[in-house]
Amino acid sequence: MKMRTISALVALPLLIFVLIKGGTLLFFAAYLLSIIGQYEFYKVFSKKYHVLNWAGYFMTTAWFGGLYKDMPEDYYTFLIAAFLFLLLTVTMLHKKNILMGSMVTFVGFFYIAFSLSHIIMIWKLDSNFFIWYPFIIAFITDTFAYFTGKLIGSTPLIPLVSPKKTVEGSLGGVIACLIFSYLYAGIFNSDFQLYAVFLGLIGSILSQVGDLIASKIKRIFNIKDFGKIMPGHGGVLDRFDSILITMPLVYYFIVIFNYLI
């Protein structure tokens, strides 16, 4: 617990600095986290499948490069098509059956790099208010779900996936996220308060789904953590499993409700 707290005290100010600074630093941080997260993901699945990790890293580099250069939308459509065609071609030419490994490579990019790249997209739309939302949703939900579960948790949520998570803890996380989302909007953007309740509700639920997805993968491969980059927290996927879901959610929420806010 001590090491976990120390890591958080170091990582949190660094995260805040990167988000405030934005620009090239944010691009580099998101790209670096994506590569590390993919490495952790591919490393786990490589125990069972022939993963084409080099293709995943190349796709991530091309994707973030496009975002940095503000490439048109057709560029990203082309990248996805080319990525899929490349994986299918390599699968066809390979001597062994590597179809599952190719699928893991494809999913790994979208699960991690594609999801994390939405922080860049959010920053381009709003670098002041919405940029903080993915982290508020994920961190508040995770923190209050943990402490609520510790205090009054007794009913298992999904024991086959994560035995320690409880229904009471999950509800505590959702309620806390609703309150903090509403208050945050009330302080910095009062016109968004009604939408903040809806975003907080959906975001908190999906945040916990993201956490459970990562837990399921770790359970399948019988590992405790994806990595060791953050002492006490594990790897990038261990710390950002919830945020991988909340980043796209916040971005598409902005896009869909843009004319209503």
- Residue 176, pLDDT > 90, answer yes
Count CB-CB contacts under 10 A for residue 220: 12
pTM, to two decimals: 0.92
Cα 38 to the center of its chain, rounded Å? 12
pLDDT single digits (tens) 30-48:
999 999 999 999 999 999 9
Count CB-CB contacts under 10 A for residue 151: 10
The pLDDT > 70 percentage for the chain reads 95
Cβ atoms of 142 and 251 within 8 Å: the answer is: no
Q: What is the pLDDT of residue 234?
A: 83
Distance from C-alpha of 82 to C-alpha of 68, rounded to nearest angstrom: 20
Least confident of 8-22, 76-90, 98-112, 208-222: 8-22
The per-residue pLDDT of the chain, averaged, comes to 93
Q: What is the pLDDT of residue 258?
A: 76
Instruction: Output DSSP code: residue 4.
Output: H
Helix or strand or coil: residue 158?
strand
Q: What is the pLDDT of residue 6?
A: 64
Q: What is the pLDDT of residue 5?
A: 64
The pLDDT of 183-189, averaged and rounded, is: 95
In DSSP terms, 166 is beta-bridged to 156
pLDDT single digits (tens) 87-122:
999 999 999 999 999 999 999 999 999 999 999 999
Count CB-CB contacts under 10 A for residue 118: 21
pLDDT single digits (tens) 113-164:
999 999 999 999 999 999 999 999 999 999 999 999 999 999 999 998 998 8
